[in-house]
Chains A and B, each alone.
Chain A
């Protein structure tokens, strides 16, 4: 049973790869959106689920990756080969600064400080002309790579899928590695890790920066897909939503991030569509808020936790 389930993610990737050209424009678009959010959620899973660092400002790195892509593309666009690394580098750079400062604090302080630094980034894009102010900016030409043009929907699909597979595989490797073992130790008992001789601050900072870079990757993909970015990408609502995704799916499990991203996106769609919930659709914030409260209260281990409870393994 265990061995079978460890092949599940790979199987899903293969299915998606095959299904790509077969999906309708709407469905394909939706799947791409979920895949991008999955990368975003996976990046946070590294930070929260694996290292135990609850960040409430992760959207900042997502938004910076997106804005960097659009700003660097200018009027002529650019090649994925340098736009993608640039977006990730910008996000990672901000993550380095924010991480270096925030990791001097712990617990609730850390949560508040990460939120504050994300808000600072939000203000820079919202109040200044750097990013076209509160309206955001448009991407004139989507990134290309040789014959691949991200204007093409199918190309978009496969680039995003490849990025998702890369991110997932990277995190699987990290999870098995010494680095991942150290992060897990820090999550469970930081004091013992220090007493054993681990430079805990350095490890946390590394996790923070990698998580930021991966969020930047998601941001790049979002900009390439939507063709427009606005400051709301860095809003704390977005930071809260991605945190919700990983709780929804199951904290600490990589597939939990993907499941959570998918379910959250579907949930938001359903709650806002009148054909499902009637007049409540206009007040989706209310239903979403109540749903969050009830869900976190009753299912703290997320969907995966529920699945495990329902089908116990020997």
Chain B
């Protein structure tokens, strides 16, 4: 034997698949009687070509639920996700699009989103990002922009969030954390000082699984601002509606 077989096996396991995959787009096999190619990534774009069962095509890219396909003749068009699910890998397995569906969305670790609401009478615009340690417990960073009639402010808080029943479509959660708040009185008021204070909060909310990778959220937090004055300040924070997605 002129060459060691381990080399070939290694070559198969490590090099061929990955190296070839980088060179050319992913190839799939049509399993439906035919798939329709639209001229654009949307249901209304006209169908200008069909590819029959048994043909191999390349996936060039994906945009939302549409896949750009190139046929062996070089014709490019967009196919819907519903039809792509019925296609096969060249090995004969069904094409796995790795959709974040409700069944497996809990396995998604990163989450981000925006919320809007009310912070002690002021308007609130909020952004958050979180990482889940487990199905129930995650750590979350929230950035608030507080826009009031008499003062503006920013806050950044880091907290833990516990989702009681992540498998439910509508699930309550509990949250607890701390951070900093910066308050700046409005320029039109009599001169008062800008303030940096520590803030702590306890709160709860509801998350509602919408579809695919998207969720709606609503949240209440009871904030305690540890001021440098004699009394601490308590502020109710209502986030009426928020939108979150997994990635």
Whether A and B are associated in the same complex: the answer reads no
> Which residues of B are interface residues toward A (Cβ below 8 A)?
none
